[in-house]
Amino acid sequence: MDDMTTTAATATATPVVGFDQVSKTYGTVRAVDGLSLTLHPGETVALLGPNGAGKSTTLDLLLGLKHADGGTVHVFGTSPREAIVAGRVGAMLQSGGLMDEVTVAELVKLACALHPKPYQVNDVLARAGITQIADRKVNKLSGGQAQRVRFALATAGDSDLIVLDEPTTGMDVSARQAFWATMREQADQGRTVLFATHYLEEADAIADRVLVLHRGRLLADGTAAEIKAKAGARRVAFDLEGPIDEAPLRGLPFLTSIDVSGQTVRIQSTDADATVHALYGLGVYPRNLEVAGLGLEQAFVAITAAEEAKQS
Amino acid sequence: MNSLIKLELTRALRNRKFLFFSVVYPSVIFLLVSNQTGDVDGSGLSVAKYVMVSMASFGALTAVLMGNSERIAKEREGGWVRQLRLTPLPGRGYVLAKTASAAVVSLPSIVVVFLVAAAVKDVRLDTWQWFALTGAIWAGSFVFAALGVAIGYLASGDAVRPITMIVYFGLSILGGLWMPSSSFPTWLQDIAKWLPTHAYAALGRAIEQSQAPNPQDIAILVAFFLLFAGGAAWLYRKDTLKA
């Protein structure tokens, strides 16, 4: 029931972000190439891709820092700039610098003063976990602390969309976990969160939806589980005795790849249950059978490799 | 916007080096240079009066030029300008806040020179002259504030300091703020009289002489203001599209 109402609301509400055939070219490089995507209210979305995939350009276009050569970008049905002026977007960029020679508290106070729907300065400091360093000068912070200050600036007010470009760069593991716990709170309050990352486990653990970007195009769009499925979600490995006849193995249902080395056969399958069932049907006796999920990282590599093969 | 001006100002007032060079330093030079008695050739002004206007103008120039150019170039490169564009602050707000805070700091640079001149060197002027001088030198400093913004958007973070220094010393010395340009060779005087700093100081001297300002000086200042402000606006727009 809950799911149905959510779906109905999603279908009728104005999309949070709408890209329609957006392109951006630098010289001869198409950083973003005919990109179309829609983000819905309340989603936590990971933008995943290797370096140079167009993630940062996509976020710059979304935030109105760059203008598209072609296509349209809408944020809450308006231009990115209008959405920012209305206080609906909070953003944290990798390239976002901080003002030097002022204290952390002064800078956060400024961000609150500039936001149309500001929170209390002390609350923002506490939520970002920077209360203890509030009196420190901004230019004396470590990389991870500076990231937290950027996060505080992005969450200085009650924004509906939070955009984060590689937010945990420079943080150690525990800081990263604390950061995502904070971010989840933001998402749980009904905000839409979009973050770019190349830490695949972050996309896997945090996002409801993963957008895979490669060479400025959208390669895959779905839940982390669906992305894995798209790449041939499960690995099946087993040993066979005697000479191995590959031909019948290649005919197995739902098989996406096969690799035979020595007596060991490794298969990727989009439906491991059906594949294994059919394997027994071939009359062979697989030993040491293992069925394992494919990590998002491997899925990602598989998808981008498949795309490169298609293009060359 | 006000909050950004306030923060820029807090930061400027906290920076001792900047305050020393824009507020204290001009008064120190004034005391060192104004020891001679008698009048400056052809001006009918005592050395103290002449140098007072030069140093007040110099101090205001320092406050508006040095602060703006270097910070803008560095903050552009460091990404603070980008970060501000993610806030509802209007695009011009950043430049306006910088200029406004520089204008607040330039006021004490002017007034401190006047106080030192009056207290130590017995410089006496009519009340209206003190106010008119303060107003004219302060208003004239916006020409150089615009120049500072233009340099900040033109230069990279590494190049901005040498470029600012060359422009700053070039304008100060050739414009006759450090020594009367009447002591220059004729060919240099011919160049100097077209410089905005020369017109700037001449404006203050006209007030000391109870004369109407020379229309040519006003025209030069207005022309340079339009040139610098137009250049700054153009460079700003170019930078915004690129960012």
- Chain segment B201-239, per-residue pLDDT in tens: 999 999 999 888 899 999 999 999 999 999 988 888 888
Q: Residues in chain B, how many?
A: 243
Which ipTM value was assigned to this complex? Answer: 0.84
The answer to whether the CB of A260 falls within 8 A of the CB of A248 is: no
The model's pLDDT over B140-197, given as tens digits with 9 standing for 90+, comes to: 999 999 999 999 999 988 899 999 999 999 999 999 888 888 888 999 988 898 999 9
Helix, strand, coil in percent for chain A, rounding step 5 = 40, 30, 30
Q: Per-residue pLDDT for chain A (312 aa), expressed as one digit of tens each?
A: 444 444 444 455 789 999 999 999 988 888 999 999 999 999 999 998 877 889 989 999 999 999 999 999 999 999 999 999 999 999 998 767 898 889 999 999 999 999 999 999 999 999 888 999 999 999 899 888 898 999 999 999 999 999 999 888 877 888 888 888 888 888 888 899 999 987 777 888 889 999 988 888 898 898 888 877 766 567 889 998 888 888 888 888 888 888 888 889 988 887 888 888 898 888 888 888 888 776 666 777 777 777 777 766
The answer to whether the CB of B145 falls within 8 A of the CB of B59 is: no
Distance from CA of A56 to the nearest CA of B (A): 12
Residues of B in contact with A100 (CB under 8 A): 74-75, 78
Distance from CA of B98 to the nearest CA of A (A): 12
Residues of B in contact with A85 (CB under 8 A): 88
The answer to whether the CB of B95 falls within 8 A of the CB of B4 is: no
Instruction: Identify the helix (H) or strand (E) that includes residue A120.
Output: none
* Tokens 């700091």 belong to residue: B105
**Partner residue facing B86 (CB), from A91, A98, A116:** A91
The pTM for the full model equals 0.80
Q: B82, A95: Cβ pair inside 8 Å?
A: yes
Taking residue B11's Cβ as centre, other Cβ atoms within 10 Å add up to 18
Taking residue A129's Cβ as centre, other Cβ atoms within 10 Å add up to 17
Phi/psi of residue A130, nearest 5 degrees = -125, 20
Given CB atoms, is B91 within the 8 Å cutoff of chain A?
Answer: no
Of the candidates B46, B47, B96, the one whose C-alpha atom is nearest the C-alpha of residue B72 is B96
Instruction: State the virtual CA torsion across A188, A192, A196, A202 in degrees, nearest 10.
Output: 20
SS3 for A251? coil
Residues of B in contact with A87 (CB under 8 A): 88
Residues A128 and A147: their CA atoms lie apart, in Å, by: 10
Residues of B in contact with A86 (CB under 8 A): 88
Q: Where are the beta strands (DSSP E) in A215-286?
A: 217-222, 234-239, 255-261, 264-269
The one-letter amino acid at A90: G
Q: How far is CA A39 from the centre of its chain?
A: 12
**Partner residue facing A102 (CB), from B10, B83, B241:** B10
